[in-house]
Amino acid sequence: MLDAVLLRNRAIRTARQFFSKEKILEVMTPKAVACATLEPYMDTVRIDAQNTQNKLFLATSPEFFLKKVFFPTLLENPTQHGIYEITSVFRDDVPSKNHQLEFTMVEWYKKNTSLREILEMASSLILYLGKVLKAPNTPTKTHFFSVEELFSMAGIPFSYENQDATIEKYLQLKGKLPLHLNRMDAATICFNLLFDEFILPQLRSKSGLVAVVDFPEYLGALAFTENGIACRGEIYWQGLELANGYLEEWREDVARDRWIRYNEIRILRGVGIHPIDEELLTILPTMRSVSGIAVGLERVLMALYGKFNASDFLNARF
């Protein structure tokens, strides 16, 4: 049995070969940051630094700084199509067989690229890793479905892009709303519960990779949105989420309004707000026609080999 840590090291070297062929340039971003995320349900790890007055967090993703350096880096390197980073990230979620506080993220951004194209590229990376590493579960194809298609296939079609419609559909199916909802996040909670009940079983039953696209705007984060739909996609392997990508939101005012709304949800949850990264918002117009995606490396290896848990990559013994 190949040691999990050594396998991950091989996978990192292999991923670098993939990005070199694709003309995607490797960069490095900070891990101690003042603004860690805008997601309302993603909890961060605070740093108790003795000699700094600033409140700092461990990065949940290199997203913000990758976007800040994207345009100037490509100006200096005009033959490159994008930038990437392979790095440790930190999220204060409940540990499980699929998640630990620290894990490895492969994240990249590519110019003049659609959401479909960046999802296909992520699928190609997973296939490349499987082939080079000679993994037993290497996928051969990727199926694409919209959220609307998957709900229709489950027999519950509805206009999920409308928050009220999402809540009404949940009430129709369940008779009452989940406990502890507030006025800001009722649609999000209802959607996630319906997704877990009606869509995840479909994803677990399908062979190969499955890309799910076109999420509701209220789950948009920093994805470009139009007519209530976010240009966001996720890649799954037998129900396990491996990647999350966007056609990037480039409108500063839209991103600011969403950030403020997400912070209102955090206040109602009784947790601290996520400070708005003003520098990030000012550079968003440079991200027009750019798509980005983040892949959980350990999860990919768990899928390809079928014998690891997330903790194996932190506690593996030599």
pLDDT in tens, 196-253: 999 999 999 998 999 999 999 999 999 999 999 999 999 999 999 999 999 999 999 9
Are 136 and 306 within 8 A, CB to CB? yes
The residue to which tokens 């292999």 are assigned: 14
pLDDT in tens, 102-158: 999 999 999 999 999 999 999 999 999 999 999 999 988 899 999 999 999 999 998
Q: What's the Rg (C-alpha) of the chain? A: 19
Tokens representing 167 are 């809540």
Are 214 and 159 within 8 A, CB to CB? no
pLDDT, residue 318, reads: 38
Element (H, E) at 27: none
Residue ranges of the domains in the chain? 4-315
pLDDT, residue 249, reads: 98
* Residue 306 Ramachandran class (φ > 0 left, ψ -120 to 50 alpha, else beta): left
pLDDT at 14 over 50: yes
Written out in words, the top-level CATH class of the domain with range 4-315 is alpha beta
pLDDT in tens, 251-302: 999 999 999 999 999 898 888 889 999 999 999 999 999 999 999 999 999 9
